[in-house]
Amino acid sequence: MCETKKLPELFGSLVFNEGTMKERLSSASYSAWKKCVTEGTPLDLSTANEIAEAMKQWAVEKGATHFTHWFQPMTGVTAEKHDSFIAPVGGGKIMMEFSGKELIRGEPDASSFPSGGLRATFEARGYTAWDPTSFAFIKEGSLCIPTVFCSYSGEALDKKTPLLRSMDEVSRQAVRILRLFGDTETKRVTAQVGPEQEYFLIDKALYEKREDLRMCGRTLFGAKPPRGQELEDHYFGAIRPRVAAYMKDLDETLWALGVLSKTKHNEVAPAQHEMAPVFSDANSACDQNQLAMEMMKKVADRHGLVCLLHEKPFAGVNGSGKHDNWSLSTDTGKNLFKPGSTPRQNAQFLLFLAAFVKGVDDYQDFLRATVAFPGNDHRLGAQEAPPAVLSIFLGDELSAVVDSIINDTDFQSTGKRTLKIDVDSLPAIPQDNTDRNRTSPMAFTGNKFEFRMLGSSQSISGPNITLNTIMAEELEQFADELEVSRDFQADLEKLIRRVFTEHQRIIFNGNGYDEAWLEEAGKRGLSNLTSTADALPMYTAPKNVDLFVKHGIYTKEEIEARAEIHIENYSTVICIEARTMTDMIRRQILPAVSAFAGDLCSRAGTKKDLGACCQYEVSTACQIGSLTDALMAASDKLETDLSAIPADAAEAMRYSHDVLIPDMDTARRAADQLETLTSSDRWPFPTYSDLLFSV
């Protein structure tokens, strides 16, 4: 459908974007919308009515028949409830209708969405309210209107509301700092985000044969294939035709939806790929990433493929993450993390850098908690991707600058000038864009930070809410201090030196995978929360609750509700995996290996009668026999332990981690060994070689 269109025409063709609004709205309504978006002024109902009418006409022209408020409940995926535009007009006829009221507010039944206890059961109503800062778009015949989702009493039940709150807050505090540096122009500072999305593609027919993939999104069994990622031939390798066709279709689908899909390439593991969009404001980046994940799956289906977004679909090869590139920019077009060419710009850059370093150090535990969920436990701290310890990579050049500030010494790298924070003598800070340290969880890459601990399946909202909020907190502290200063330059210098000195422990430029680093990190007092069960309790640590409450991002109840949802989710996911595992063991693996061993025994009997050698049959049947018993025992234990799961959510999380996961590991070991002994035509489902090299 899209192929004949030229790209600029195709791009955003399904989006009711600013250009379309300019074209279709009266100039008064367009200006009212613009003012609403840039200054936060509310829209009156007559403007909303006009926008709704224009949206409807545009959507109907494009073939839409329905509209839906599109929102992001705390499940981490998107939700939608479709209403058609039709309204009866008598005589068996209809007209197409859509009012400003319907645009602005919806009332979906919220009772089946997780609320973490926020919404009393007697009050099932939830409200969705239009987010005019994110464009409406058409998806599968429905006009989708991005909305926030809250309870009857106004508590946020979604992932968009707090993100918008955090964007406002970081803007407010950043503008205060800019004023101190004489910037009187900037009205708003916006968090910019570019999420790189990794995924696996496998053949759909093979996927269908694996209950674990269908139920859990990852394999629970699978012996190591003869070939994994050892040859290092996949990363950036030539893209195979079927994958290329998928990527082309995906790009066109995303472009039509206004998603700025920019790069695509093969990733490290076989069957693994990546898509990265051009960065945009954090709110649309989050919406667009949700849309991208949805489309990745849907487009795969059209190609007889399945797109796996799970963090660890296959043991033994790399898992999938999401690199969250984050920066702050002004409405005058300046990136606040770009070192400048003048001393004044550099002093400002160093102050923002200091705020970031302090924020990550102060809230490392919370940042870790925002990326904690069962799928990500297979990556973080598990010898791949970044470690579970948070640290910041600054690169050698910038670290040398920071060191010279701390030690009040010459800036060695340029060699020529003394670096004093005393604004006038600041040298140009060299830009180090050559970051190839892939082991750091938080890397400065020239003009932005790359937060690399996110899992591929997760909403990027939580981590960005946190980055925005910790930045707002530190900038607020700095502004409070500097606004009352009588000698700005001297106090600025002192503050920057003090902050870098107090928080230098979080800066680490070495190899994050190294065991020695974990030891060193321990000595530095950095937290090492190796699993979700260890990390999630940090959600409600008093200092973290205080931070979010103080900045109005979450109320105490909202943050507690979120913690509860994540904690419950943990044991729910582990229990589903455990049940799937026992099901596959009982109904697929045990019968298959038993039948195969039985065949071996009867063949051995026949051979023996004939006086032929039967060593293979006998020894294999014996090995299979003892592994089969071990597998049955492991499965029995898993079932027994599953039935003893504690009722309390926090205890259930601990128990799932401490008891069920080791049980599952034991069962898997026996099953994977059995796979290597069983005739390939008797193994009940596709193997790793089948799956990883299927496309």
The yes or no reply on residue 327 touching ligand ADP (CB under 6 A) is yes
CB atoms within 10 A of CB 50: 20
359 binds, options ligand ADP, Mg ion, none, Cβ within 5 to 8 A by partner type: none
Q: How many whole angstroms separate alpha carbon 478 and alpha carbon 422?
A: 17
59 closest CA partner among 13, 117, 1: 13
The yes or no reply on residue 165 touching ligand ADP (CB under 6 A) is no
434 binds, options ligand ADP, Mg ion, none, Cβ within 5 to 8 A by partner type: none
User: For residue 422, what are the contacts with CB-CB under 8 A and spacing of at least 6?
Assistant: 489, 490, 493
> What minimum distance in Å lies between the beta carbon of 524 and ligand ADP?
26
Q: How many whole angstroms separate alpha carbon 308 and alpha carbon 198?
A: 9
Residue among 48, 276, 367, 661 that touches ligand ADP (CB under 6 A):
276
> What minimum distance in Å lies between the beta carbon of 7 and ligand ADP?
18
> What minimum distance in Å lies between the beta carbon of 408 and ligand ADP?
31
**Residues between 536 and 555 with contacts to ligand ADP, criterion CB under 6 A:** none
The yes or no reply on residue 272 touching ligand ADP (CB under 6 A) is no
Residue among 94, 278, 595, 633 that touches ligand ADP (CB under 6 A):
278
CB atoms within 10 A of CB 428: 14
Of the ranges 172-180, 193-201, 246-254, 614-622, which one interacts with ligand ADP (CB under 6 A)?
Answer: 193-201
Binding mask 430-459 for ligand ADP (x = CB under 6 A): -----------------xx-x---------
The yes or no reply on residue 419 touching ligand ADP (CB under 6 A) is no
Angle made by CA atoms 404, 406, 412, in degrees to the nearest 5:
10
Q: How many whole angstroms separate alpha carbon 629 and alpha carbon 519?
A: 40
Residue among 126, 132, 277, 339 that touches ligand ADP (CB under 6 A):
277
Residue among 335, 414, 540, 666 that touches ligand ADP (CB under 6 A):
335
Q: Are 348 and 336 in contact (CB under 8 A)?
A: yes
Report CA 539 to chain centroid distance, whole Å: 17
Of the ranges 35-43, 47-55, 165-173, 190-198, which one interacts with ligand ADP (CB under 6 A)?
Answer: 190-198
Of the ranges 166-174, 188-196, 233-241, 615-623, which one interacts with ligand ADP (CB under 6 A)?
Answer: 188-196
Contacts to Mg ion by CB under 5 A? 196, 323
> What minimum distance in Å lies between the beta carbon of 262 and Mg ion?
12
**Residues between 225 and 264 with contacts to ligand ADP, criterion CB under 6 A:** 263
User: For residue 605, what are the contacts with CB-CB under 8 A and spacing of at least 6?
Assistant: none
> What is the SS3 assignment for 238?
coil
> What minimum distance in Å lies between the beta carbon of 443 and Mg ion?
8
Q: Which is nearer to ligand ADP, 196 or 474 (CB)?
A: 196
Q: Write the DSSP string, 620-652.
A: HHHHHHHHHHHHHHHHHHHHHHHHT--SSHHHH
Q: Which is nearer to ligand ADP, 440 or 531 (CB)?
A: 440
> What is the SS3 assignment for 100?
helix
Binding mask 494-533 for ligand ADP (x = CB under 6 A): ----------------------------------------
> What minimum distance in Å lies between the beta carbon of 329 and ligand ADP?
7
Report CA 453 to chain centroid distance, whole Å: 9
Q: Which two tokens stand for residue 510?
A: 């070495």
367 closest CA partner among 454, 473, 472: 454
Report CA 326 to chain centroid distance, whole Å: 13
Q: How many whole angstroms separate alpha carbon 42 and alpha carbon 37?
A: 9
Residue among 151, 192, 346, 391 that touches ligand ADP (CB under 6 A):
192
Of the ranges 189-197, 219-227, 294-302, 601-609, which one interacts with ligand ADP (CB under 6 A)?
Answer: 189-197
Of the ranges 80-88, 274-282, 519-527, 683-691, which one interacts with ligand ADP (CB under 6 A)?
Answer: 274-282
How far is residue 512 from each of residues 140, 386, 391, 521, measured CA to CA in Å? 44, 7, 9, 10
The yes or no reply on residue 112 touching ligand ADP (CB under 6 A) is no
Burial call 154-185: b when 16+ CB within 10 Å, e when fewer: ebbbbbbbbbbbbbbbbbbbbbbbbebeeeee
Name the closest residue to ligand ADP (Cβ). 194
> What minimum distance in Å lies between the beta carbon of 568 and Mg ion?
32
323 closest CA partner among 356, 289, 287: 289
Q: How many whole angstroms separate alpha carbon 496 and alpha carbon 364?
A: 20
Q: Which is nearer to ligand ADP, 145 or 259 (CB)?
A: 259
Q: Are 646 and 689 in contact (CB under 8 A)?
A: no
Q: How many whole angstroms separate alpha carbon 677 and alpha carbon 60?
A: 60
> What is the SS3 assignment for 321?
strand
Q: Which is nearer to ligand ADP, 194 or 395 (CB)?
A: 194
Q: Which two tokens stand for residue 617?
A: 């049959």
CB atoms within 10 A of CB 645: 17
Q: Which is nearer to ligand ADP, 49 or 327 (CB)?
A: 327
Q: Which is nearer to ligand ADP, 139 or 448 (CB)?
A: 448
Residues 35, 37, 40, 41: is their CA dihedral positive or negative? positive
| Greatest pairwise CA separation for the chain in angstroms | 103
> What minimum distance in Å lies between the beta carbon of 260 and ligand ADP?
8
> What is the SS3 assignment for 204?
helix
The yes or no reply on residue 409 touching ligand ADP (CB under 6 A) is no
The yes or no reply on residue 334 touching ligand ADP (CB under 6 A) is no
> What minimum distance in Å lies between the beta carbon of 367 and ligand ADP?
17
Q: Which is nearer to ligand ADP, 200 or 337 (CB)?
A: 337
By the criterion CB under 6 A, which residues form the site for ligand ADP?
192-194, 196, 263, 276-279, 323, 325-327, 335, 447-448, 450
